[in-house]
């Protein structure tokens, strides 16, 4: 099949505005959009910039907007986004993060949010038998969904709250917070409260569900955020 890849391009070092560039390529319906990008990069236009690493939906580095929806290019097949021969597939960089070049965004703001929720285990009690912190299978299953996050930032791009409040910590960081707060071994809700229990923390979330809709790992992002809201309210009631 013939596909036109319409790619939003921008080089902030030499341009003042982004522009779209179209590339017509031959592809199989079962080829991935990432294959198309790599073909262009290797054989048509070496100046095209995008990120990718694993090629198999694990590293999260090739999240981008394909036909208006956040996706991983390595998990998106042409047959699903290019209906029929000569279809146009529009590819744009993620939102809410400045473009470094073409489809690459500067993730500094996102990682600042990620670090702010302290995504690591808090527990200064001695481990059982001085060796390890035992966790049952059922206790581990409680936060199984959140451990699937690959930090692709698709949810950060799709969240409409970030359009109006760029200081919102964002859904991905809250998924990480939920992962640890749900962990039976963790005792770190209190130190995390200053970030989570804040107008820019969980309370910014208006339950739009766009994060859940785009997450390539099918994590129930909004559910995780609502869990945190309930947990924080309960914690504050206990302290009152």
State the residues that interact with ligand FES by CB under 6 A.
Answer: 52-55, 57-62, 72, 74
Nearer to ligand SF4 among residue 150 and residue 195 (C-beta): 150
Nearer to ligand FES among residue 64 and residue 232 (C-beta): 64
Minimal distance, residue 77 CB to ligand SF4, in Å? 19
Nearer to ligand FES among residue 51 and residue 208 (C-beta): 51
3-class state of residue 39 by DSSP: helix
Interior angle at CA 141, CA 138 and CA 143, nearest 5:
130
Task: Report d(CA 142, CA 149) in Å as an integer.
Answer: 15
Six token digits for residue 4: 């036109």
Task: Report d(CA 4, CA 21) in Å as an integer.
Answer: 10
Minimal distance, residue 175 CB to ligand SF4, in Å? 4
Q: 107 contacts which partner out of ligand SF4, ligand FES, none, CB within 5 to 8 A by kind?
A: none
Inter-residue contact 216 to 154 (CB < 8 Å)? yes
Inter-residue contact 165 to 227 (CB < 8 Å)? no
Nearer to ligand FES among residue 80 and residue 198 (C-beta): 80
Task: Report d(CA 185, CA 176) in Å as an integer.
Answer: 15
Q: 53 contacts which partner out of ligand FES, ligand SF4, none, CB within 5 to 8 A by kind?
A: ligand FES
Q: 161 contacts which partner out of ligand SF4, ligand FES, none, CB within 5 to 8 A by kind?
A: none
Minimal distance, residue 35 CB to ligand FES, in Å? 11
Which positions lie near ligand SF4, rule CB under 6 A?
A: 149-155, 171-172, 175, 215, 217, 219, 221
- At residue 197, φ and ψ (nearest 5 deg) are -90, 65
């Amino acid at each position: 099949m013939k596909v036109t890849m319409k790619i939003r391009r921008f080089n902030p070092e030499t341009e003042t505005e982004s522009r779209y560039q179209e590339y017509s390529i031959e592809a199989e319906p079962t080829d991935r959009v990432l294959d198309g990008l790599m073909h262009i990069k290797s054989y048509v236009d070496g100046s095209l910039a995008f990120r990718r690493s694993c090629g198999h939906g694990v590293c999260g580095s090739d999240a981008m907007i394909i036909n208006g929806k956040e996706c991983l290019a390595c998990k998106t097949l042409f047959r699903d986004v290019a209906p029929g021969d000569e279809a146009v597939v529009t590819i744009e960089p993620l939102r809410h993060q400045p473009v470094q070049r073409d489809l690459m965004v500067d993730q500094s703001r996102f990682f600042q949010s990620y670090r702010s929720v302290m995504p690591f285990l808090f527990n200064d009690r001695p481990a059982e038998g001085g060796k390890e912190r035992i966790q049952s299978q059922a206790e581990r299953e409680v936060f199984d969904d959140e451990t699937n996050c690959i930090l692709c930032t698709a949810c950060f791009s799709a969240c409409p709250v970030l359009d109006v409040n760029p200081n919102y910590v964002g859904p991905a960081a809250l998924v990480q917070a939920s992962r640890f707060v749900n962990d039976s071994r963790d005792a770190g809700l209190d130190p995390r409260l200053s970030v989570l229990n804040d107008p820019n923390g969980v309370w910014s979330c208006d339950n739009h569900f766009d994060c859940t809709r785009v997450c390539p790992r099918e994590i129930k992002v909004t559910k995780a955020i609502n869990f945190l809201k309930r947990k924080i309210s309960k914690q504050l009631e206990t302290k009152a």
